[in-house]
Amino acid sequence: METYLFYILAVVTVIGTILAITEKHPVHAIVYLVTSFFSLATIFYLLAAPLVAMFEVIIYAGAVMVLFMFVIMMLDLGRSDEARRPELKQWILPIILAGIILTSIGTIATGYAAAPHASGSLTIRDFAETLFRKYGVAVELVSMQLLFAVVGALYLGRKAKS
Amino acid sequence: MIYDPIDIALILVKIGLVFVVILTLAAYLVFAERKVLAWIQDRKGPNRAGPFGLLQPLADLIKLLTKEDFRPIGADKWLFYLAPAMAAIPAIMIFAVIPFGAPLTLFGHTVQMQVSDLNVGLLLFMALSSVAVYGVALGGWASNSKYALLGSIRGLAQLISYELSMGLSLVPVVMLARSFRLSDIVNAQSGCWFIVYQPLAFTIFLISIAAECKRIPFDLPEAEGELVAGYHTEYSGMRFGLFFVGEYINIIVLGGLAATFFLGGWHGPWLPPVIWFTLKVFSFAFLFIWMRGTMPRLRYDQLMHFGWKVLTPLALVNIVVTGWWLVLRG
């Protein structure tokens, strides 16, 4: 049962992501991407990681993509006729990067017999203890970085004094 | 994993029951709203269809179903058709995690009065309510109309802003109950309701859910004085009906959540648990109708300033204070 569900969801995720890339209209692309996030979240749930599943939906589908859509709607960027296929020159760097990633995935996939299986469901308490006790300093540093970004955005967005 | 056929049947029955009850309640909430508003404004309200106008929701349903399903020229066909469902479905899905009664024991099976008792129930609510934004945003955008677009941009900004304060106001609840599971949160309140410990969080949550429901005084996305009807201006027939019913489903669901988080869920003396839960939900619904009957609408900048500069900082301070209190109490 879980295996069938996984394959259905995996196909939906991959197709949704491909359509999000090939779709010319930005709003449609967002809808496809949100669909793929949803099925990805369900896959996380099947892998006994309900917390990750919820974060996937709250942060990516619910916050990041909504902000993208807000910007597209506010600035009226939905002109699909302006979207062109990139030139051949622009393809080179993405192809090199994709090559590196695919080779790494291939190495990992052939190196290990099976993916390490999660033993039982991870509780929120375990997750929080690892994150805020064991890696507490790292979390603080990352949040400082976010704070810098917020201050920077405020500085850039300030109104010029008249 | 082994599936017990009785468990599956029970879950299907519960899903069906929740669907029917919620949809009926939502339809009658529209009727109740019209009656209460009429009462506040010294009118009679709907009183023609059936005794005391009780068949009015049915008449409205028939009217909506038989109306022409109209699509404006230049509208984005698929998104225009999909948006009403995107607005209504997440609202009804949230009810899956709300416990509406004490667990029953039937034929040796313990039946949870809740469709699904997820250990991340509270987060599922946050996830689905953040996804419900898409219905409002895409509906207005796909209509290819200025009023609808303005309405949905306002709706987007408002929902994102107030989701923040709503989520932050729930953090103290989780700190007190020490769980994201809604049945644990209800059980933690068997002695004393969380509203006693957290009156500030309750107030913030109440204001935020009024904004999430897009009700007066926060109904700027559909402000009829300026935007015709906001994001659903171009909709007609049952598609408009879905937006409309979705809003009332939202009132019921958010009322149920407010009762679960702060008013002890189904806990209460003398009366059976389900009745207590229903009473609490109805009182929230009544409060929302009352607010609509008596309050003026906020201005847009007031709405944004209130959300970001008052509610969110207050909720953050409340979290810190609750943390210190929990530590010092030991």
Question: Coil, strand or helix: which one is B180?
Answer: coil
CA-based torsion, B278, B122, B132, B201: positive or negative: positive
pLDDT in tens, A52-86: 888 888 888 888 888 888 888 877 765 656 556 66
Asked if residue A92 belongs to a domain, the reply is no
A62 and A128: one domain? Answer: no
Structure tokens at B37: 């508003």
- Predicted confidence at residue B318, as pLDDT, reads 92
Please state the rounded mean pLDDT for residues B256-281: 84
Domain boundary at A35, A55, A83, which? A83
In-domain check, residue A24: yes
Question: Is B160 within 8 Å of A51 when comparing Cβ atoms?
Answer: no
**Burial annotation B165-190 (CB, 10 A radius, 16+ → b, else e):** bbbbbbbbbbebbebbbbbbbbbbbe
Please report the pLDDT score of residue B231 as a whole number. Answer: 78
DSSP letters, B5-54, are: HHHHHHHHHHHHHHHHHHHHHHHHHHHHHHHHHHHHTT---S-SSSGGGT
Q: From the CB of residue A110, how many other CB atoms can be counted at a distance below 10 Å? A: 8
| A97 has pLDDT over 90 | yes
B325 vs B71, residue with greater confidence: B325
Share of chain B above pLDDT 90, in %: 6
Which residues, numbered 90 to 109 in chain A, qualify as contacts with chain B under a Cβ-Cβ cut-off of 8 Å? none
Q: Give the 3-state secondary structure of residue A103.
A: helix
Do A131 and A66 share a domain, yes or no?
no
Q: Are residues A64 and A128 in the same domain?
A: no
Same domain (yes/no): A73, A15 = yes
The burial of A29, by beta-carbon neighbours within 10 Å (0-12 exposed, 13-18 middle, 19 or more buried), is given as buried
| Residue A114 domain-assigned (yes or no) | no
Residue with tokens 């250990």: B119
Record: contact B160-A31, CB cut-off 8 A:
no
Whether residue B157 and residue A31 make contact (CB cut-off 8 A), yes or no, is: no
Chain B hits for A37, CB-CB cut-off 8 Å, are none
pTM of the model: 0.84
Return the minimum-mean-pLDDT range out of B31-40, B143-152, B253-262, B314-323.
B143-152
Contact A53, A60 (CB under 8 A): no
Output the domain CATH number for residue A8: 1.20.120.1200
pLDDT, residue A48, reads: 78
Q: Is residue A45 part of a domain?
A: yes
> Are residues A78 and A22 both part of a single domain?
yes
Assign A121 to helix, strand or coil: coil
- The residue whose two tokens read 């209509």 is B143
Burial class (CB in 10 A: 0-12, 13-18, 19+), B9: exposed
- The last residue of a domain, from among A83, A102, A133: A83
A5 and A77 within one domain: yes
Read off the pLDDT of each residue in B141-149 and give the average, rounded to a whole number: 82
Structural domains of chain A, count: 2
The C-alpha of A150 sits at a distance from chain B's nearest C-alpha, in angstroms, of: 15
Q: What is the reported pLDDT for B321? A: 92
User: pLDDT tens digit string along B146-168?
Assistant: 888 888 888 888 888 888 899 89
C-beta atoms surrounding A53 within 10 Å: 24
Whether B120 and A58 lie within 8 Å, measured CB to CB: no
Q: Is B291 helix (H, G, I), strand (E, B) or coil?
A: helix
pLDDT bracket for residue A36 (50, 70, 90): very high
Beta strand segments in B63-148, E: 101-106, 109-113
| Domain contains A12 | yes
Rounded CA-CA distance B303/B220 in Å is 9
Instruction: Give the residue numbers spanning the domain of A127.
Output: 123-157
Q: What is the mean pLDDT of chain A?
A: 83
- Does A132 touch chain B if contact means CB atoms closer than 8 Å? no
Compute the mean pLDDT over every residue in chain B, rounded to the nearest whole number.
84
The pLDDT value given to residue A107: 85
Question: Residues A3, A75: one domain?
Answer: yes
Q: Is residue A94 assigned to a domain?
A: no
Residue A1 lies in a domain: yes
Which of residues B47 and A38 earns the better pLDDT score? Answer: A38
pLDDT above 90 for B48: no
Q: Quickly state the pLDDT bin for A122 (edges 50, 70, 90).
A: low
Q: What is the full DSSP assignment across B207-256?
A: HHHHHHTT-TTS-GGG-HHHHTTGGGTT--HHHHHHHHHHHHHHHHHHHH
Which B positions 109-138 lie with beta carbon below 8 A of chain A? 118-120, 123-124, 126-128, 130-131, 133-134, 137-138
| Inside any domain, residue A101 | no
Q: Which two tokens stand for residue B320?
A: 């810190």
Domain ends where: A83, A114, A140?
A83
